[in-house]
Amino acid sequence: MSVLVVGGAGYIGSHTVRRLLEAGEDVVIVDALYTGHKEAVPENCRLYEFDIRDEAALDELFKNEEIDTVIHFGAFSIVGESMKDPLKYYDNNLGGTLSLLKVMTRHRIPRIVFSSTAATYGEPEQIPIHENDKTSPTNPYGETKLAMEKMFHWSNLAGGPNYVALRYFNACGADESAEIGEDHNPETHLIPLILQVPLGTRDKISIFGTDYQTPDGTCIRDYIHVDDLANAHILAMNYLRDGGKSDVFNLGNGTGFSVRQVIDAAEEVVGTAIPREEKERREGDPAKLVASSNKAKEVLGWTPEKTDLPTIISSAWKWHRSHPEGFR
């Protein structure tokens, strides 16, 4: 039996593929390579290159392979882009998931673990954020992820696959080997942007907003290492294999760090000053997002291990320094 990883050539997907192989799983990947990278796919797994909205191609795949579990990362994930082109997000994120779910149901595939996001909550009512807090996304990206969760919920009640939805907070860091890491185009995330300064491809880092109601005035986020996220997928898969019920889990570090704290920690790691520029707030940024991950700890037995900023940033720095142009 094999595990099908949809979007296995992407950032979090490729890290999870490595952990699955280490755990002795046979891995099949489907990726349209819109944002994923062929170079991130290890040789010892089978890569199918197509868009999961292609139901006939998916059907063929499920006929050829014996799939036991699906892990689904295949979605667009840039908040700003989703505001400018919402239908692109509805089309790909929901269209792809609908097609996947239809084919999985037809082939009686019993379970799926999939990526959701902190963006399903929108502006939080309390910190830390719990899974049953109000979900009210403030952008189309978060809306499509919440709709995906609901699609799985209702289809599961009607006999479709059991599922675990994992709501990631701020994914960051890279594999110890530095063979794979974050490579987005355009890059919008804080840590890779900061590291472009010591790499020499950016003069300074912009701080978006210094007047938030936080101790140093900058936004606080919950940065969670991609290896810890990858491990959570394996635990979630095994939880479902052991008969666990469909559910939703936050995945965060449990500690918030401000933008200034992240830049300061990066200066320590790289050993040079990182010039910064204070800018206006970025539209739609909540002041503070920090997860309660107690449920994942209690139910899945998940404990994030790479939780301090120097560890997170060092691993990202090792990747970016050895791959200044990403996978190119």
Nearest-CB residue for ligand UFG: 219
- Catalytically active residues, by annotation: 141
Task: Report whether 305 contacts 230 (CB < 8 A).
Answer: no
Q: Which candidate, 5, 80, 13, places its Cα nearest to that of 46?
A: 5
Token pair, residue 248, equals 């939703």
- Residue 226 Cβ vs ligand UFG, minimum distance, rounded to whole Å: 12
- Residue 202 Cβ vs ligand UFG, minimum distance, rounded to whole Å: 9
- Residue 310 Cβ vs ligand UFG, minimum distance, rounded to whole Å: 18
Single-letter amino acid code for the residue at 209: G
- Residue 218 Cβ vs ligand UFG, minimum distance, rounded to whole Å: 7
Q: Which candidate, 182, 311, 213, places its Cα nearest to that of 253?
A: 311
CB burial of 131-160 (b: ≥16 within 10 Å; e: otherwise) equals: bebebebbbbbbbbbbbbbebbeebbeeeb
Token pair, residue 182, equals 């974050």
- Chain contacts with ligand UFG (rule: CB under 6 A): 77, 79, 117-119, 141, 170, 188-190, 193, 205-208, 219, 221, 259, 282, 285, 289
In the complex with ligand UFG, the residue whose CB is nearer, 135 or 162, is 135
Q: Which candidate, 227, 245, 224, places its Cα nearest to that of 236?
A: 245
Name the helix (H) or strand (E) containing 106.
helix 95-106
Q: What is the CB neighbour count within 10 angstroms for residue 117? A: 24
- Residue 234 Cβ vs ligand UFG, minimum distance, rounded to whole Å: 22
In the complex with ligand UFG, the residue whose CB is nearer, 210 or 238, is 210
Name the helix (H) or strand (E) containing 150.
helix 140-157
In the complex with ligand UFG, the residue whose CB is nearer, 241 or 279, is 279
Q: What SS3 state is found at 218?
A: coil
